Structure 1
Amino acid sequence: MQPRFCEMLLAEVENFEKWVHETKFKIMRPSTMNKYGVVLDDFGMKTILEKLMESKVFFPEVGGSNLDSHHGFVLEYGIDRDADLGFHVDDSEVSSNVGMGKQFSGGELFFRGVRCDKHVNTETQPEEIFDYSHVPGRAVLHRGRHRHGARATTSGNRINLLLWCRSSVFRESRKYQKDFSSWCAECQRKKKERQRQSVAAIKMDLLRREGQTAT
């Protein structure tokens, strides 16, 4: 996103927050994990968010090719705001996280592997560890089931635009599946282990039969 767009969007968010404060209007915050931030659909951003969701070429294995709804919001972090964000997965199929500025330090994202519901609390493998420092205007696109969190913002104010994209088709199909090895890393690991054990058992059986034939 271009700097001018980020500036205009942040100005709209500040105006909305000012109006909420002056009128003492009660609004719903973006999620149960955040006390600060606004839902963008609440003040006329629905159309532009739908445009952002139109790209359907990423993560087709988790519904990325048939996204049909979204939840878009801005979150604010800082010393006088929410400082960090705990380890979690998103209520989405595909998530976009755009660093909007302002001046801040800290607040790095950390990712720890993609998981289905059954394996969401399983151990992180070394190759799944990935940390990312925000760049203003640049989006991080990831599966909603990619476990992640944000470290504490240690100075200044960090503002992020989040877009949770959802697929009703994928959510319905997921109800009838038990194996998610096409995208869950732990399902993949367990499947490979079963295959390895099966191959090892076949080899042992062949060796046993060869030994019987030789005697």
Structure 2
Amino acid sequence: MRPNTMNKFGAVLDDFGMESMLDKLMKDFIRPLSRVFFAEFGGCSLDTHHGFIVEYGIHRDRELGFHVDDSEVTLNICLGKEFSGGELFFRGARCDAHVNSDSQLEEIFDYSHVPGQAILHSGRHRHGAKATTSGKRMNLILWCRSSTFREMIKYQREFAGWCGECRRKKRERERLSIAATKQELLKRRMAL
């Protein structure tokens, strides 16, 4: 079975009997960190996971296109030994309505994989992987999910506080409202 819809090379770890180990990793380590760093993304209520290995290299997947994960929080551990390229690029967290919107300068972040090290990020943080140009890079990915967060987000009517584009639009509406109020007050003052 393919590990996800974007990768051709890899394996789903639950298929190899690793479900309980990955569940313990999520509950004992990732959930406590996510309570602090990703509470707005459901980090307090992570209850399921999807764990898999992906392979990148010359005769494997070379790169990974721009996307968001099917997770609330993602753990990405670099297992490769010798490789070049394969940097992750992040371009801001987005809700479903704004997933394809432009990135702001302050949202741009690039991350170079280091064997044996990991990055923990929101699944809603748009990202991709640049081409692996030599060697073989392998990563263990753990998508951690919250059924509570997924149910709550269905009923969200106002802006998503964690979506960079929603926040930008809210700030713009506030700026226009303040400018209109100032203009109206100025007109009233001039009329007196």
TM-score, length of structure 2 as denominator length: 0.94
Q: What is the deviation of 1:138?
A: 1.4
**Structure-1 residue corresponding to 2:4:** 31
Q: Where do residues 1-215 of structure 1 align in structure 2 (5 Å cutoff)?
A: 28-54=1-27, 55-56=31-32, 57=35, 58-213=37-192
Q: Any idea what the Cα deviations from partners look like across 1:73-118, whole Å, max 9, x if unmatched? A: 0000000111110010000011111111121000000001110000
Deviations 1:167-204 (A, max 9, x none): 01110111111334310000000001001111111111
Q: Using the alignment, how far apart are the partners of 2:158 and 2:116 within structure 1?
A: 37
Q: CA RMSD in A?
A: 0.9
Whole-angstrom CA distance in 2 between matches of 1:174 and 1:43: 32
Larger Rg: 1
CA distance in structure 1 between the partners assigned to 2:72 and 2:88 by the alignment? 18
- Distance in 2 between the 1:53 and 1:195 partners? 39
Q: CA deviation at 1:52?
A: 1.8
Q: CA deviation at 1:34?
A: 1.0
Gaps of 5+ in 2: none
SS at match of 1:190: helix
State the secondary structure of the residue aligned to 1:156. strand
Runs of 5+ unmatched residues, structure 1: 1-27
User: Which residue identity lines up with residue 14 of structure 2 in the other structure?
Assistant: D
How many matched pairs? 186
**Aligned equivalents of 2:159 and 2:185: distance in 1?**
32
Runs of 4+, deviation exceeding 4 Å: none
Q: TM-score if structure 1 supplies the norm length?
A: 0.84
Deviations 1:13-61 (A, max 9, x none): xxxxxxxxxxxxxxx1111211110001111111221122122323011
The code of the aligned residue for 1:135 comes to V
Which stretch shifts more, 151-160 or 175-184? 175-184
Mapped to 2, the partners of 1:180 and 1:92 lie a distance apart of: 20
Measure the CA separation in 1 of the matches of 2:149 and 2:102: 26
Distance 1:71 1:208 in 2: 60
